[in-house]
Amino acid sequence: MSTPKVTTQNGEWAEVVDKLVAEKIASRIAAKDATIWGPEAESEASIRLGWVDLHETSRPLLAEIEALQADLRSEGLDRIVLSGMGGSSLAPEVITRTAGVELFVLDSTDPSVVQRALDGDLSKTVIVVSSKSGGTVETDSHRRTFAKAFADAGIDAASRIVVVTDPGSPFEKLSADEGYRKTFLADPNVGGRYSALTAFGLVPSGLAGADIAELLDQAAEAAPALQADSTDNPALWLGAVLAASAGRDKAIIAAEGSGIVGFPDWAEQLIAESTGKNGTGVLPVAVEAGAPELHSEAADLTNALLAEKATSGVPTALTSGSLGGQFLLWEMATAVAGYLLGINPFDQPDVESAKSAARGLLDAQPEPEPPAFTDGAVEVRGSADLLDGADTLRRAVTTLLDQLGDKGYLAVMAYLDSERDADLASIRTAFAKQTGRPVTFGWGPRFLHSTGQYHKGGHPQGVFLQITATPPADVEIPDRPFTFGGLIAAQAAGDAKVLADRGRPVLRLHLTGPTSGVQQLLSLFDN
């Protein structure tokens, strides 16, 4: 194990760190001082600081998780499916991928993804349904669908459903009423994106076979350095890099040579949801090794890399250390960044807007908006001013990119199957090379619980490319008047409406055939 380190290329932030030390910000966070972020944030902060000592308070969970895993294995149940959104899925994904153990992460409403989860060997499957309340539409739909699939296969559904929720939640009562296999109660004083070391992160990871005791040990080893009022505290330096870099409000996050798999996606949701509000914040851009942004000289970019050593470009901040230590480092740094930005890092005021819009569309069941035009396998939609004069896919995309300002960014939002349509992810790099601007890429609806907050509440600099598709086959949701195909369509339309209502340019591309449509999009970059 190794404690976290942050190496910066110059002393630009020394004065800021000295200020943080003088104000005892680190020790006050460790002491759960809810007054740090101002009077307006105090009420929320007072019930959101449980994450600072999870390396101690989560230890009683270990024996429970180990016992359940042993029981499941003895029954031949070794296929774990996780239904969760946001931090409830992203942290377990990083933990299990880094540990090299199998976990099917179901954080999509795309019918093809849901069907693939159902097509696994149900005789060996247990589903962990993670939700603070139980009312999240994605996880509720997954739970209903798996319960019916188990029953249809002659399997006692209740014995195959494990619940992770907050104490006293409606989901805890439902779990008891339905007799589900096991209910794990998480610390209610921890928000979703800070929940990596709560039951939300530990239960699915431990059941899948990851060494979660070691994860807590790593965080415990890191905690003293991260909670010290010292100029050697790496969390103070990383927080300063993120939030006190003059003119730089975009953090490019890559993981090169660290051995930690998928960490940029987890850090992205932590930073975006925590800081992207009140018209300010830090836009995190999760990128691959060698991404164009890592070599960019754009004045508004900061490189924050998780790596053992710099392998490309010159990073502004280089962080290293164990996974448990990194979770705590970035959580502390994000809380510090919130203080420096003058915002509440524990609320997400704009996430609910897209959810509400989607619910309204599900209830109303309106006819789809007709496309402005169709080009091959792609139906094109957008505001009249955005599509004025555009009659081809290429021209429509060019018109959208023309809206990019000198400090702008492009967000690609793909409501598709991340496995079937995996090739589409390369479009992020292609757009970054073409525009010279940072480009985020998110699979929907997963990103709604991540960068979706920043899109609506952060700096109004983004232009948005939404990609949807007609599913080859749909999947019913038991006892619901809509299907997964209808749900994901409403989520996409609701998000686009909220963005457009807030004056963000949105180009909507609907693929009438997912495979052919993806190839048509990629062909835009053919020479």
What would the 3-class secondary structure string for 189-242 be?
A: CCCHHHCCCCHHHHHHHHHHCCCHHHHHHHHHHHHHHHCCCCCCCHHHHHHHHH
pLDDT in tens, 265-278: 999 999 999 999 99
What pLDDT is recorded for position 513? Answer: 94
Main-chain phi, psi angles of 189, to 5 degrees: -95, 35
Q: State the average pLDDT over residues 425-448.
A: 96
191 and 263 both lie in a single domain: no
Q: State the average pLDDT over residues 87-91.
A: 95
437 and 314 both lie in a single domain: no
What pLDDT is recorded for position 312? Answer: 58
203 and 274 both lie in a single domain: no
CB count within 10 Å of CB 366 equals: 10
Going by pLDDT thresholds of 50, 70 and 90, the confidence category of residue 526 is confident
Domain that residue 420 falls in: 351-525
Q: Are the C-beta atoms of 496 and 463 separated by less than 8 Å?
A: no
pLDDT at 441 over 80: yes
Average pLDDT of every residue of the chain: 94
Q: State percent of the chain over pLDDT 70.
A: 98
Is residue 145 included in any domain, yes or no? yes
Is residue 221 included in any domain, yes or no? no
- Gap between the Cα atoms of 330 and 289, Å rounded: 20
- Gap between the Cα atoms of 119 and 216, Å rounded: 34
What pLDDT is recorded for position 527? Answer: 64
What pLDDT is recorded for position 373? Answer: 96
- Gap between the Cα atoms of 239 and 267, Å rounded: 13
Structurally, how many domains does the chain consist of? 3
Q: State percent of the chain over pLDDT 90.
A: 85
- Gap between the Cα atoms of 183 and 174, Å rounded: 10
Three-class SS state of 163: strand
pLDDT in tens, 488-525: 999 999 999 999 999 999 999 999 999 999 999 999 99
pLDDT at 4 over 90: no
Query: Which of 285, 312, 341 finishes a domain?
Result: 341
Q: What is the secondary structure of 412-481 as a DSSP string?
A: EEE-S-TTTTGGGGGHHHHHHHHHSS-EEEEETTGGGGTHHHHHHHS-S-EEEEEEEE--SS--B-TT-S
Helix ranges (DSSP H) in 24-154: 25-30, 39-45, 54-57, 60-74, 87-99, 111-118, 137-152
- Gap between the Cα atoms of 367 and 371, Å rounded: 12
pLDDT in tens, 358-402: 889 888 888 888 999 999 999 999 988 899 889 999 999 999 999
387 and 415 both lie in a single domain: yes
Going by pLDDT thresholds of 50, 70 and 90, the confidence category of residue 9 is confident
Going by pLDDT thresholds of 50, 70 and 90, the confidence category of residue 5 is confident
- Token reading at 255: 């993981």
Is residue 222 included in any domain, yes or no? no
C-alpha closest to that of 346 among 43, 1, 21: 43
Helix ranges (DSSP H) in 309-450: 323-341, 351-364, 384-387, 393-401, 427-435
CATH number of the domain residue 388 falls in: 3.40.50.10490
Chain CA centroid to CA 275, Å? 14
381 and 453 both lie in a single domain: yes
The residue type of 420 is R
pTM tops 0.75: yes
Going by pLDDT thresholds of 50, 70 and 90, the confidence category of residue 8 is confident
Is residue 399 included in any domain, yes or no? yes
Q: What is the secondary structure of 15-30 as a DSSP string?
A: HHHHHHHHTTHHHHHH
Q: Are the C-beta atoms of 297 and 437 separated by less than 8 Å?
A: no
pLDDT at 202 over 70: yes
More confident residue, 494 or 303: 494
- Token reading at 69: 């895993």
308 and 164 both lie in a single domain: no
Is residue 293 included in any domain, yes or no? yes
- Gap between the Cα atoms of 231 and 44, Å rounded: 29
194 and 234 both lie in a single domain: no
pLDDT in tens, 168-185: 999 999 999 999 999 999
Going by pLDDT thresholds of 50, 70 and 90, the confidence category of residue 290 is confident
What pLDDT is recorded for position 114? Answer: 98
- Gap between the Cα atoms of 39 and 20, Å rounded: 19
pLDDT at 12 over 90: no
Going by pLDDT thresholds of 50, 70 and 90, the confidence category of residue 2 is low
111 and 159 both lie in a single domain: yes
Is residue 238 included in any domain, yes or no? yes
Query: Which of 189, 215, 241 finishes a domain?
Result: 215
Is residue 46 included in any domain, yes or no? no
In which residue are the tokens 């009312």 written?
135
pLDDT in tens, 452-489: 999 999 999 999 999 999 999 999 999 999 999 999 99
Going by pLDDT thresholds of 50, 70 and 90, the confidence category of residue 305 is confident
What pLDDT is recorded for position 129? Answer: 98
pLDDT at 415 over 80: yes
Is residue 58 included in any domain, yes or no? yes
477 and 521 both lie in a single domain: yes
Query: Which of 277, 307, 341 finishes a domain?
Result: 341
What pLDDT is recorded for position 263? Answer: 95
What pLDDT is recorded for position 333? Answer: 98
Q: State the average pLDDT over residues 336-346.
A: 97
What pLDDT is recorded for position 361? Answer: 87
Main-chain phi, psi angles of 46, to 5 degrees: -65, -20
- What does DSSP assign to residue 10? S
pLDDT at 355 over 90: no
146 and 254 both lie in a single domain: no
What pLDDT is recorded for position 314? Answer: 65
